[in-house]
Amino acid sequence: MKWLLKKYPFNAEQTVNILGEFGPLVAMFIINATHGIIAGTWALIIATLISVVAMLWVLKRLPMFPLIASGVTIAFGIMTLLTGDAMWIQIKVTIFNIMFAVFLFVGLWMGKNFFKYIFGKTFHYTKEGWDKFTWSFAWFFVLTAVLNEAVRLGFAKDEMYNILGFTMDGVNVWILFKICLIMPMSGLYAWWLTQQMQRYRIDTDTSSAPAE
C-alpha cells in the first residue's frame, strides 16, 4: 500500500477534482444510453452535487475552480431538463471555456495575471513564466471549445453512430469524446506545461535567478 501511495501521482485535492469531473460524465454516459437524455441529465446533476459534497468533506473547503464549474454544469443541466434539449449541456463547455479564455486574455492585457493571483503563494515563478503559463492555458481553452463544437455539430444528438463496434447516439459520442480525449489531453497538457515552467522557477530559499 505504501508503495502504491508513493507511485500515485495525485494528491487528495487533485484526486477529488478528477473524480468530480470524471464521475458525473460517466454517470450521464451510462444513464443516457439506457434511459435517455432526461434521466442522463438528472444523473449528471446528482453526481455533480455528490462531488461537491465529497470535495467539502475531503478538503474541508470548496476550491473556486471546481465550484464554479459545478455550478455552471448544474445551471446548464437544468436548462436541458426544462427544454428536453441536450444542446444546453453540450454548449456549456464551449461557453465556459471561451469566457474563461477571454477573461485570461483581458487580464494579461491589463497586466493582471489571474493564475499568479490564485497560485502565487504556492508556486514561485518569474513574471515572464506566469504570463507564458496563462497565455498557453488561455489558448488551450480556446482549442477545447473549438473541438467541443466540432464534435457537437458533427454528431447529431438524435442520430445513431457506430463507434468502435458500439452503437450510440450523438450525445454519448460527445460524452465519450470528453472522457477519452479531452480529459486525458487536459491532464497531459497541464503536466507538460508544469514541467516547462520549471525554467522560470524562483528559488525562494536562495532568491536565485530562474534556471535556464
pLDDT in tens, 32-46: 777 888 898 899 899
**Residue-number span of the structural domain to which 193 is assigned:** 86-201
pTM of the model: 0.76
36 and 128 fall within a common domain: no
> Length of the chain in residues, anyone?
212
User: Domain total for the chain?
Assistant: 2
User: Furthest-apart CA pair in the chain: how many Å?
Assistant: 61
Please check whether residues 174 and 90 belong to one and the same domain.
Answer: yes
Same domain assignment for residues 153 and 116: yes
State phi, psi for 160 to the nearest 5 degrees: -105, 140
Domain boundary among 57, 84, 111: 84
Asked if residue 149 and residue 62 are part of one domain, the reply reads: no
* 43 domain residue, yes or no: yes
Q: How far apart are CA 73 and CA 41, in angstroms?
A: 10
Q: Are 98 and 169 contained in the same domain?
A: yes
41: exposed, middle or buried (C-beta count within 10 Å: 0-12, 13-18, 19+)?
A: buried
Same domain, 48 and 110: no
- Residue 115 shares a structural domain with residue 127: yes
The predicted-structure confidence for 166-176, as pLDDT tens digits, reads as follows 899 999 999 99
Of 46, 65, 84, the one marking the end of a domain is: 84
Buried b / exposed e across 145-155, counting CB within 10 Å, b at 16+? Answer: bebbeebbeeb
Q: How far is CA 78 from the centre of its chain?
A: 20
Q: pLDDT tens-digit profile of 149-168?
A: 999 999 998 899 988 888 99
- Which amino acid belongs to residue 66? P
Does residue 209 fall inside a structural domain? no
Same-domain check for residues 102 and 193:
yes
